[in-house]
Amino acid sequence: MKVFLNSIGCRLNQSEIETMARQLLAAGHEIVTESTEADKVIINTCAVTAEAARDARSQTRRIHRSNPEAEIVLTGCYATIAPDELGNVQGAGRVIANQQKAQLVQMLDPKARIELPVFDQEPVLREFLAGSLGANTRAFIKVQDGCDNKCTFCVTTVARGAGQSRHLGDVVAEIQALAAAGYQEAVLTGVHLGSYGHDFGNETGLRDLVQAILQHTDIPRLRLSSLEPWDLAPDFFTLWENPRLLPHLHMPLQSGSDKILKRMARRTSRASFRELAEAARSHIPDLNLSTDVIVGFPGESETDFADSLEFVEEINFARLHVFSYSPRPGTAASQFPHQVNGKVKKERTHRMIELGKQLSHQFHQQFVGQTLNVLWETNVGADHGGLRWVGYTDNYIRVQANGPADMFNRIAVTEIVEAAPDGVMGILRAS
């Protein structure tokens, strides 16, 4: 069976798709890079914004037009909250809710083993890394799912349910297998990563997990994905004394207005977020602190938006992910009064994006003239200087440089020579 896999949205979705790919490879199936070659297509959908839901519908129709014989299997958050709506899209086949996602590969192939013993994982992981899907040198590891907080805008809690953590030993074993297979970097993912272990009664679970990975695996680089700005142990940032834990944190703010944060039911405030950011920077040199901001939340006045602009600039984030608020089915905020006019949202979104570009450029500029370690992962073409490669520094700055053909999955010393809002240009130096 030839299978085409696609993921929309967050890194947790990407982690789940990678797991499916490994299970399919272990069962003897082929992962293809073109949907036109596939017998089966799996799309892991997202519902966090209306745009993500539209993307799922559009991709389903497009793939069906190009390959009408392939069954298109739809799973993920959009498939969970609106199965009938998605199932009525032209080309849609089976619609599998998040609760059954772990068994999806076995639904397609009842003989497939969906839980691979550790000693069986390494050959599959090597094949995955060497294959076309392995073009991402960072492996995304799902360590927890769901969330017990009920942010009023968030449909993910509706789609994924309460927080559930994987056992620490299983995560450590998977990452060690990845390291043995040649992966250079592992990224821990979850809906609410900071709550890892709370369902086991362990309030310092994420700290314990990171310590165990650093102690019991050989993975050269360990990164955390999105981390809500609460549920962190007081000494959490001392973990970064180990240089294998990379200096990059993504902590979603969502709004810089205390009034709007309360309406969002966020468990943070300007003061507590400021304190957390200061604590992180005091322990982590050259920290890349990025965030999410929602613009145009119901009830957001021009004063509230000005507070957000001012606070984002004060915290001096290295990167912003800016979203215009869109009502999501099943969330409290979709029923709130004082929805913000679309034209106003668009104008405010533009202003926040422009501030984000300015802050990113400033952050990148401070590294010009320095030499940084870069993990090279993608060849994006060639120019007069040779092959053009894209990679990421320890603190997650996107770098482009010319290099030889064997740069994939290598960490190389690179001098930063030019900065832009979306990344930097570099020159490879002898290590």
What pLDDT digit, counting tens, does each position of 18-39 carry?
889 888 988 889 999 999 999 9
- Residue 329 Cα distances to 82, 129, 153, 340, angstroms: 9, 38, 10, 17
Instruction: Determine the Cα–Cα distance for residues 393 and 419; give it in Å rounded to an integer.
Output: 14
Instruction: Determine the Cα–Cα distance for residues 140 and 76; give it in Å rounded to an integer.
Output: 16
Does residue 307 register a pLDDT over 50?
A: yes
212-263: pLDDT as tens digits: 999 999 999 999 999 999 998 878 999 999 999 999 999 999 999 999 999 9
Q: Which residue has the tokens 């799973």?
A: 75
Instruction: Determine the Cα–Cα distance for residues 137 and 134; give it in Å rounded to an integer.
Output: 6
Q: Which of the four CATH numbers 3.40.50.2300, 2.40.110.10, 3.40.47.10, 3.30.9.10 does domain 2-108 have?
A: 3.40.50.2300
What is the pTM (predicted TM-score) of this model? Answer: 0.92
Instruction: Determine the Cα–Cα distance for residues 359 and 399; give it in Å rounded to an integer.
Output: 17
Contact status, residue 264 vs residue 227, Cβ threshold 8 Å: no
User: Which pLDDT belongs to residue 234?
Assistant: 77
> What type of residue sits at position 426?
G
Instruction: Determine the Cα–Cα distance for residues 381 and 180; give it in Å rounded to an integer.
Output: 30
Instruction: Determine the Cα–Cα distance for residues 198 and 204; give it in Å rounded to an integer.
Output: 8
Residues of the chain with CATH 3.80.30.20: 135-363
Residues of the chain with CATH 2.40.50: 371-428
Instruction: Determine the Cα–Cα distance for residues 379 and 400; give it in Å rounded to an integer.
Output: 10
CATH class of the structural domain 135-363: alpha beta
If we measure between CA atoms, which residue out of 259, 273, 268, 271 comes closest to residue 336?
A: 259
Domain 371-428: give its CATH architecture. Beta Barrel (2.40)
Contact status, residue 147 vs residue 192, Cβ threshold 8 Å: yes
Residues of the chain with CATH 3.40.50.2300: 2-108
User: Which pLDDT belongs to residue 111?
Assistant: 83
115-169: pLDDT as tens digits: 655 545 555 566 556 554 445 678 999 999 999 999 999 999 889 999 999 999 9
β strands within 18-78, DSSP E: 30-32, 40-45, 71-76
With vertex at residue 146, the alpha carbon angle to CA 141 and CA 149, rounded to the nearest 5 degrees, is 130
Contact status, residue 31 vs residue 25, Cβ threshold 8 Å: yes
Does residue 274 register a pLDDT over 80?
A: yes
DSSP state of 340: P
Contact status, residue 178 vs residue 142, Cβ threshold 8 Å: no
User: Which pLDDT belongs to residue 369?
Assistant: 98
Contacts of 138 (CB under 8 A, 6+ apart): 183, 184, 185, 186, 187, 223, 375, 377, 392
User: Which pLDDT belongs to residue 112?
Assistant: 78
Listing DSSP states for 52-68 in one string gives HHHHHHHHHHHHHHH-T
Residue-level length of the chain: 431
User: Which pLDDT belongs to residue 121?
Assistant: 58
Residue bearing the bigger pLDDT, 115 or 112:
112
Contact status, residue 42 vs residue 104, Cβ threshold 8 Å: yes
Does residue 41 register a pLDDT over 50?
A: yes
For the range 58-61, what are the long-range contacts, defined as Cβ-Cβ under 8 Å and sequence gap of 24 or more?
59/6, 59/8, 60/86, 60/89, 60/90, 60/91, 60/92, 61/89, 61/90, 61/91
